[in-house]
Structures are given as C-alpha cells and as structure tokens.
Structure 1
C-alpha cells in the first residue's frame, strides 16, 4: 500500500516531524513493503513555521523581540524554500506558554513583539508573508503589532495609550501616517486555526479569554474593549471586522491585519496543505494517517486532521486519525472521510508518563491501525 502520513504536532511531546517519524516506524513494523510519504502538517497554530520550513526546505532565523509582557525574548521565524515567503508565528513572541502562568493576563499582554518579527522580515527584504495566529496569550486585537509597525494609538490628549487591551479604553485615534511604508507593498496571508469573529458570544474574548488568564470580569471588559477597537478599525476600513469569520484569531490580531494591513484570512490547515503539496501526494494513496494531541468537538472545524481528511476524501482515500486523547462529540469527523479515530492511551497513566512515552505509543498504535486496515483491505479484495 501507499500510505501518506500527515500529522500535526502532539503538543508538549512531539513536533509534527517527530510524530511523522514515529508513525513511519509503526508502519514499517506492520510491513516493510508499504510505500510511505511523510508530510508534517499544521493549522496555523504553534509549530506551523517549523512544519512549513521542513516541508519546503526553507530556513529559520532568530531575533530578539519583546514577549507579550515586554521582556526580551529570542524568537524564531522562517523563510520557505522558495526564498521569498516569510512565515511568522504569533506564538513565537507572544505565546501563552512563553510567559509564566502568573503573568497571563490578556488585559495587559501585547502583540508588540509579533510586529517586531514582521519588521525583521521586512528588513530582510521579504514582501510575502504567512502569519500564523494560533497559540497566543494576547487579546489586544493586534494593537501592539500595529504599534511595532509604526502606528500611533493616541488618547484624547494626543498621547500614546498603554500597551495591551486595557490601553484601548483610552483610545481616541489611530494615526497610521508613520506606519512602515514597506508593509503596504506586502502580500499577507493569515493562517487561522479558528473561525471565530472578533466580538460576540463566539468572539475572541468570550471563547479564548478564559484560557489566557481572564476571569469573568476581565472577559466582560475585554469584550467592551474589542467592540471599541472594532469601531475604530471599521471607521478606517471597509472590512466588517467585528463579524468577519476568523477575525477573532490570535486574540483579535487577525482583525488588525484585515483592517489595516490588507491581509487575507485562510484556513490554516488548507493553506499549509497547499504549500506542502499534500494533495499531490494523496492522489493514488491507499490510506492517509493523521493526528494531533487531542481530538474533540472542535477538530471538525478547521483543525489539521479534518483538513487532511477533507483532501483525502476528495480522492476517495480513507483517513485514520490517531490522537493523544479523544474527547466527545466527534461524530462530524466521520462525515469528512475519517474511518476511525484512535487514542494512544491503552492503560491508566499520568500526564507526565503519557508525554514521555508518546513516540513509542504512537508507533505502536500506528502499527496496529495499519495491520487492521491491511487485513480489512485483503478480505475485501477476496
């Protein structure tokens, strides 16, 4: 059989490349005669830069920027194998896990460091960008990013407002006269792993604020501030950022990019599959294997496994998903070309034990899945 292996990372334990290698080893244990194609995947969340650089033979660069609390941090960005496309993750500078748990407060964290990474790409001469917005610890609507690119966010007295979402309470005007002019010559694609709008019950603040450290009162305040931010952005742009699908990605950073940087939102899994040429490899395959750390009710809405399965289904190729853990309400996946969803966990164990043994468990589960699929295929042919 020809088997295409296209996993996302297993957060906390395996990169997408590491997961792909473990799955490859599992297939080899099932049979040495299978043709195996490994294509690491991502959906715009953490690990997307590494995935795309590996898939295209690109290059990584490191530079010092501010993290979301304003402290210096070394962050990495990438350039694809075409030598022309710069790929940047919001999480590299402003990720939730880049800062201590005690520092997580989306009223005060800022995307300024993300803007610094974009500037680093501009300095190297790149004018084509893929901006990946998953995994952020921010909820400032991209205000800090715009400041780093030269915008001035001013209060009623003409003074710069405080960084972070909390500063937007004093926002009176956005002055873009001193924006870096190079940014307007850029082609910018936004790789999103969510479709949430900027505001409302499904917006950035209500859905993602709590996991970034916001309590109930903070979430309510963030919603008010994002509505105010949307008012200003919509006054300067024809884009309805408050309701646009995906505008809430990255704590609303997508809204700032849409309105003032002329960015285009793409489903991250689709964009990364396109760059990685996944569809070309899937054609003529017998089986596709994909997976990530957790599969649940959100997986069918743009996460990597569903994106991979969608492409495989177009070509009549069945998909098996292997996950660290499997949650509830995953039935929609079975309408997207997925024939089975398997969990790595085969006995009670602690989280630390699961993370430590993830590669071995993924290898073993893959072997079992391929043996069962091959046996079913053989019986069907007879």
Structure 2
C-alpha cells in the first residue's frame, strides 16, 4: 500500500492548513482509494500554527481566552495546551499572535500607527496562569510595528512616556517612550519559551521591521522612517535593561519587532517551519511515506527561505521520499526543482479569482491530478 502524507501550510486568506490537507487527501483518494493518507497540516509560526498542532497532536486542548485585539476591541481567541511530556510535565502551551493581534483580525482595515500586540501578551499570560511548563509562540501575521512593547506590557513591563504614563498602543505610542522598566516581567516557565517565525530580518534599518513590512501593515513612507526611529530608541532603552536583547538578532524584526520584545523577556527565536515539523512528528511520518504533498497560497522566489514547502521538501529528500507542490499561484521566478511535480490552482481553475472562490474544490482537483501522474 502506498502511504501519502499531506503537509500543506495555510493558503493565506483562502483556506486553513487543516482544511487544505483534508481537501488534498479527498482528491487523492478519489483516484487511488486504496492508498493510506496521513494528514499533517503545517505552519511556520504564522496563521494556522494552532491549527497545525491541534490536528497533529493527540490530546491537545484549546483553552479559550478573551483579549484586546490589534484595534483595541475585544477578541475571542484561544491558546492550545499540549499533553504533558517528560521535558514539560505540566504541558506545553502554543500561543499564536495571528489569532490575538494578527492583521487578519482587521479585515480590510490597516492600522499601521495604532495596532498593538497587547492581546498576544494577554494570551501568553493566561497560559502562564495555567501553570504550563513550556511556551511555544508563533509570531507571524502581525498587524503591528510596536517592537513587542504591547507583549512586554501585558507581561508586566512598565513602558512609559515622558510624563510617566503608560504609552499608547502601536508606533504612535512607541514614538513617545521615555523609560522602560523590565523588573516586574513575569518569569519564564521552567521549560523556557521558543518563538517560531520564518522571518530572519533584524529589528532596524533597511532590512528592518518597519522598512520591509511596515507598508503592508498600513504605514506610509513618512511613517516608516518615524517607526524605525522609534524602534531604535526603544531598542536602546530595552537593551540597557536586558543586554541579551540585540536588535541585530535574526528574527528580531519579525511580527513588527515582537521577536525583539520576546528576546528581551528571555525567549529563543527558532525557524518556524523546522520546529513545527519536529514538534508534530513530520520527519518520522515522511520517512515512512512514498509521497508527500505540501503547498501554500503563493509559491515564489522567497519560498525557499524558511517557508513550509521548502522545509517539507528538504525532509522528503533526506529520506528519499518524493515531494510534490500544490500552490494557489506559482510565480514564474520560483524554483520548483525540489519537487517531482507541481500544480497551480490558478492555472487549474482558469484564473486566481476562480481558484479563490472555491479553494477546497481546486485542491481536490490538484491532488487528483497528482494521483493520476503517480
């Protein structure tokens, strides 16, 4: 019997990783019903991280929490409690920035100067209150460029303006910061804190958080330079109290600088796709499969730099398993040589609009196409 593993990322703004994996498996079985299909939805720290763990880890339990969203309004969210293990006897909490302070929560709106990350910090605090042994934090899909000030404030830091008042959320507040006191930060859980991201950018400068990602979060040209200057001042104040918080750390610029803020707390930044794969047992499953099918919404020239499909392909090649790619769109400049076959949903459906209108249908069609080629 042929064993086929389905390990896609979410198709951002279209369909989640778990539903994408289900659709792909259904399409494959429509052609090859006798094959064994294994679903391992993936993530790299961004949207869908909770979903990936919930689908892959037996006994994982969602814990609801209400937090302040990126626009200051209440958001009903959750964090995920993974079962106890030898190195985390009270369980591991997975907390996702995307579902607490993420850009998707704003719909079409963009609040580049005012969106904050306090809600993400509140969800982390809720997990700490539950007494977990370890934290795994996914920090993709942020709406904010606040340097992690909101997260730190929710965890006990005092970040004040020149009049001794707590700063406002977002870059607008960060531009007024005059002092930082980290002495009341909550202690790390005994098993530590791992931060998952696919971003390696530093906090500041031309490759920094504001310059590279600010515009997509709603910052204009002038606001981007203001944000970078505010982040630089904030970084100087934070580093004076937490020398390990280095703005040049790869990933410090992730999630609007939330990576930097979490480093100041004592967290470790890790490549998101690598660690998610390890934590959900993907390497072991791929090693026993004949084919692994992965995918994402847009596969382009940047996808090889830490994105889910590239990581899945590397795992497959290491054990001699064939890898195939399904993407909403495959960019002409993308290198698909790591995959034995690739399918674009946009080409299959006839247009990007048609593919987006019914992604599950076209994912099934894509998997059926690959199964016929098998």
Q: What's the TM-score once normalised by structure 2's chain length?
A: 0.93
The C-alpha deviation readout for 1:281-336, integer Å capped at 9, x for no partner, is 111322111011111112111111111111111112221110111123212x52xx
The C-alpha deviation readout for 1:165-189, integer Å capped at 9, x for no partner, is 2222222221123323x43645100
Q: Residue 29 of structure 1 corresponds to which residue in structure 2?
A: 30
Matched, 1:79 2:81: yes
Matched, 1:291 2:292: no
Q: Residue 88 of structure 1 corresponds to which residue in structure 2?
A: 95
| Secondary structure of residue in 2 paired with 1:101 | coil
The CA distance in 2 between the partners of 1:214 and 1:208, in whole Å, is 9
Partner of residue 190 from structure 1, selected from 188, 192, 195 = 195
Matched, 1:101 2:108: yes
The C-alpha deviation readout for 1:219-275, integer Å capped at 9, x for no partner, is 11111111112212222233363211111111100101112x211111111111001
Equivalent residue runs for 1:333-352 within 5 Å: 333-334=336-337, 337-345=338-346, 346-349=348-351, 351=353
The CA distance in 2 between the partners of 1:157 and 1:347, in whole Å, is 58
- The offset of 1:154, in angstroms, is 2.0
| Secondary structure of residue in 2 paired with 1:308 | helix
Equivalent residue runs for 1:298-313 within 5 Å: 298-313=302-317
Partner of residue 209 from structure 1, selected from 214, 217, 232 = 214
The CA distance in 1 between the partners of 2:175 and 2:14, in whole Å, is 40
Q: What's the TM-score once normalised by structure 1's chain length?
A: 0.91
| Secondary structure of residue in 1 paired with 2:340 | strand
Matched, 1:53 2:54: yes
1:315–1:186 distance in 2 versus 1, CA, 3 Å: closer
The CA distance in 1 between the partners of 2:91 and 2:238, in whole Å, is 30
1:329–1:152 distance in 2 versus 1, CA, 3 Å: same
- Paired residues in the alignment total 366
| Secondary structure of residue in 2 paired with 1:257 | helix
CA contact (8 A) 1:53 1:81 kept: no
The CA distance in 2 between the partners of 1:100 and 1:4, in whole Å, is 33
CA contact (8 A) 1:50 1:78 kept: no
Could you tell me which runs of 5 or more consecutive residues in structure 1 were left unpaired when the two chains were aligned.
375-382
Could you tell me which runs of 5 or more consecutive residues in structure 2 were left unpaired when the two chains were aligned.
85-89
CA contact (8 A) 2:341 2:370 kept: no
Matched, 1:140 2:141: no
| Secondary structure of residue in 2 paired with 1:11 | coil
| Secondary structure of residue in 2 paired with 1:361 | helix
The CA distance in 1 between the partners of 2:16 and 2:163, in whole Å, is 48
- The offset of 1:350, in angstroms, is 6.0
| Secondary structure of residue in 2 paired with 1:183 | coil
Partner of residue 218 from structure 1, selected from 202, 218, 223 = 223
The CA distance in 1 between the partners of 2:352 and 2:363, in whole Å, is 16
The CA distance in 2 between the partners of 1:157 and 1:20, in whole Å, is 53
CA contact (8 A) 1:16 1:41 kept: yes
| Secondary structure of residue in 1 paired with 2:72 | coil
The CA distance in 2 between the partners of 1:342 and 1:43, in whole Å, is 21
CA RMSD of aligned residues (A): 1.8
Q: Residue 87 of structure 2 corresponds to which residue in structure 1?
A: none
1:128–1:347 distance in 2 versus 1, CA, 3 Å: closer
| Secondary structure of residue in 1 paired with 2:258 | helix
Q: Residue 229 of structure 1 corresponds to which residue in structure 2?
A: 234
- The offset of 1:46, in angstroms, is 0.5
CA contact (8 A) 1:233 1:241 kept: no
The CA distance in 2 between the partners of 1:350 and 1:252, in whole Å, is 32
